[in-house]
Structures are given as C-alpha cells and as structure tokens.
Amino acid sequence: MTTATTTPTTAADVPQVARKITTAIPGPRALEIQKDYDRYVTAGVGQHEPIFADSASGATITDVDGNRFIDLAAGIAVASVGNTAPEVTTAIQDQATKLLHTCFATTPYAGYVEVCKKLAELTPGSFPKKSILLNSGAEAVENAVKIARRYSGKSAVIVMENAFHGRTNLTMSMTTKASPYKAGFGGFAPDIYRVPFSYPLRDAFGADGAAAARAAIDKIRLLVDPGDVAAIIAEPVQGEGGFIVPATGFLEGLLTWAHENGIVYISDEIQSGFCRTGEWFASTHFAIVPDMITTAKAIGGGMPLSAVTGRAEIMDSVQRGGIGGTYSGNPVSCAAALAAIGIMEREDLPARAAHVGALADELLAPLAASSRVAEVRGLGAMIGIEFVKPGSLEPDGDIVRRILARAPQEGLIILSCGIYGNVIRLLPPLTISNEELTEAVRTLSAIAFEEMA
Ligand code: PLZ
C-alpha cells in the first residue's frame, strides 16, 4: 500500500455524458414523494438513496426529476443484461397477454420446464440435474436446505462466517450479521453451525486456502458430529459479507470433506451466478462442482425468480408435493428469464463481465494505491474496494458512508457491503459500455480522493 502520488480531477471536473444532474438531489418531485414515503412506508425498509426512480435503460437510471444516474448496482446484481432490456420487456409483454398465472403444480406450462432445462445445461456438473423454481433468493436457500435434509435424513447445516442467505427465519438464522438483519427478530432456527470462511486479507491463512479449509473443518468437528450434518452451504464469492474471494483450495477442501462424510455441498450463487464473475457460475473459478446451486437475481432479468438446481437423485428424494408455492416459477418470470438467458448466451456476457472487471481494475489503480484502501478485489464484474484507517487493517466504514452519500449528488448509484460496512461494491449491468464505466469509475475515484483529503 502506497499513497497515491497523482491527484485526480475533482468529481465536478469529470464531464457528465452518461450522467445528467440538473436539480438539487433530492429534486423537487422527489421531496414531494418523500413526504408520503415518510408518512406511509415503514421505516424498517431503509432507504439508501434520496431519489425516486422513474425509468431505467441499460446502465442508466432516470429519476422523477429527470436526473440521470450511472447504475453501478444493477438492483443488487439483478439487471445483468441491462435495465429494462428490450428483449426482456417484450417477452414479459407477450407472456402477460397470454398467460399470467396458473400455479405450476396445478396446471403446468412449458416456460417453467424450459428454464429448468437451461439450468441443467448451464450449471456446473455433467450429471443429470433437476430444478425447482421459486420467487426469491431466500426461498431458494430455504428449499435447498429442506431438500438436503430430506435426502440425507440429517438436520445440521454448516454456514460460513460473514455469509448472507436471506431474511426469512431460516435464512436470517444462517446469515451472520446481527445488525440490521437479526436484531430483535429471534428466536432463530436451530441446528445451524457457523465456521470461518477464507478471507485472505484478514485471516491467518492468507493465500493458503487448503489450510483455511482444514481450520474450518476442525471447527465443524468441534461443533457437531459430521454424521449429523445434512449440508454445507457457501457463497463462492461472499456478497453482502464484503465481496470476499476465498483463497484457492478453501472451497475445494470443504467440498471434498463434505463428500467424504456424506454431506450435501450447496453453492449459493444468488449474487455471484449468471455471468457476473466472468463465468456462468462462480463455482467454476474454483474447480468445484456443487451438489446443489441456488440462483436468483440476474436469472429473471428484473422479474422475481429463483431456483434450486441439483443432482437429480437429491432433487427427486422429496415426496410429491413436498416443495412448491402458489407463485413459484410464474409464467411471466419464466418468459423474462428465458429472454435474459438468451441475451447472456448471445452476447457472451461471461466474457463481457471479465472485460468489465479488467477495465474497472485498471481505472481503480490510483485508488487501490491509497493507504486508505486495503484491497481492490473480486472476480469479473463483482468488484469490492475495502477501505481501512490509513496504513492499517482497521475497517473504515465512515469513509464509505461519506463517499456513498456523495454518489447520487454526482450521478452515481453505488452500494456498500462488508461485515464492517467498509467495502464499496461495483455491480454494474454487464452490458455497460466502456465509456459509461470509465465515466462512473473516474467520478467515484474523484469523490473518494476528495473525501479522503
Ligand atoms: N443469498 C448470496 O446475496 C440477497 C440482499 C438485499 P433475496 N442479497 C441482497 C437485502 O437487503 O435484503 C441474497 C444473496 C445471497 C441469498 C440472498 C437472498 O435473496 O432474493 O433477497 O431473498
């Protein structure tokens, strides 16, 4: 870590081309809506930005006051094929005029079957695979655990420190961070055991993933008899936890041990999946073939859809009617997913994600050299910038909050993450142009340098 010698332009000096900020932020119309928001929307939801979206296209979002922002969040890794992608919206419109809903278990339809076929083809592993479709990521994780328990006849679930798996009772219990996700919401689900994830920047093992895996396995053995464990679940790249890329050998070690002990290995690819990391699924970077994969977010192209995909014998171990839901795998969501997957295939979005990641890395080099940045890391277009107190590893969440507060003023939509809230994450639509990405990252860097000065 060295102090940057070059001082970039201020944010105001970066020409607004893709961005266009013409009012104060929030603008007059946003302030009006905010009054009703404050009166009628529960404060429990939280509000990241003081603007209200009106429309979005590609990598830009336009607010109700006509201000245009570059989108580096993609609705939390959802709009990978671009916001309001025309092929997706056309598919939605066509499907909506034909068939809105039946409940798949009542009266099936082809779109659901086609999405399951795509999932079998695209996910890692050459063995026969089957899927169930659901609505949210949390629902997918819940069902993956139910299926692993049914298949194995065992109940314990191993989760990773810093993991995020959702907000329902089971998935909240599997999630690490207490505030805001768990505070006041107990009792929590039993039979969940938490072990350290590989965090090369901060743990004792650094790049030695095999050693980190041995330590995690020792911890599992301490906490629970392996003969009682139904499943190990891990995000291949931790998302909400801080865009943490585990050292090579960590996930491999866990998976090997799981299989030696008759334990189902589940990859939660809800945030990392569907091209985001430069591969169709991030598991591929680690040469692991999970028994089950949970997906959501980008699969639906903006519509709510999630899935559990797994080895056919595991997925078929469930009694008929044992899993499902009224809206699960809605026809419109399936049509949107097939259109989104079509774009991913045609435009080779895994390759595009790798390119976006490489360009962002290059543009972030001056920031990465700052003594306040411990690390710029990630895979493909899943990029985290971890901020620390100068020259130390002490997390600095305060600087991240200040940078994020400035971002909308300068025409950027950006999110943070990290167990300490000290990581800025970049998750642009994978279809973002080089020009839009350059404008956005230059602006972000300029804001960061101004706030760090
Ligand atoms: N698993 C790996 O990233 C959702 C959370 C947004 P749902 N991450 C964004 C929020 O503030 O709640 C996520 C994830 C991983 C599961 C989930 C849960 O997915 O669709 O939000 O339920």
Do residues 286 and 210 lie in contact, with contact meaning Cβ atoms separated by under 8 Å? no
Q: Where are the domains of the chain?
A: 11-84+348-452, 101-329
- Cβ neighbors of 219 (< 8 A, separation 6 or more) are 195, 196
**Ligand 1 centroid to 415 CA: how many Å?**
14
Ligand 1 pocket at CB < 6 A: 76, 136-138, 141, 164-167, 235, 239-240, 268, 270-271, 296
Nearest CA among 134, 361, 386 for reference residue 238: 386
**Atom number in ligand 1 closest to CA 306:** 20
Q: How far is the CA of 297 from the centre of ligand 1 (A)?
A: 8
Q: How far apart are the first and last CA of the chain?
A: 17
C-alpha 77/C-alpha 60 separation (Å) is 14
Q: What is the pTM of this model?
A: 0.97
d(CA 18, CA 441): 12
Checking 34-42 for CB contacts under 8 A at 24+ apart, the result is none
What radius of gyration do the chain's Cα atoms show? 22
Res 391: pLDDT: 85
Mean pLDDT by groups of 10 residues along the chain of 453 residues? 52 97 98 98 94 98 98 98 98 98 98 98 98 98 98 98 98 97 97 98 98 98 98 98 98 98 98 98 97 98 98 98 98 99 98 98 98 98 98 96 98 97 98 98 98 95
Closest residue CA from atom 21 of ligand 1: 137
Q: Which atom of ligand 1 is nearest to the CA of 46?
A: 11
Say whether 359 sits in a helix, a strand or coil: helix
- Kindly state the DSSP code that residue 432 receives in the 8-state scheme: -
> Can you tell me which atom of ligand 1 is nearest the CA of 141?
16
CB contact at 8 A, 315 and 131: yes
CATH architecture of 101-329: 3-Layer(aba) Sandwich (3.40)
Candidate CATH numbers 3.40.50.620, 3.20.20.70, 3.90.1150.10, 3.40.50.300; the one for domain 11-84+348-452: 3.90.1150.10
Give the ligand 1 atom nearest the CA of 235. 2
pLDDT of residue 8: 59
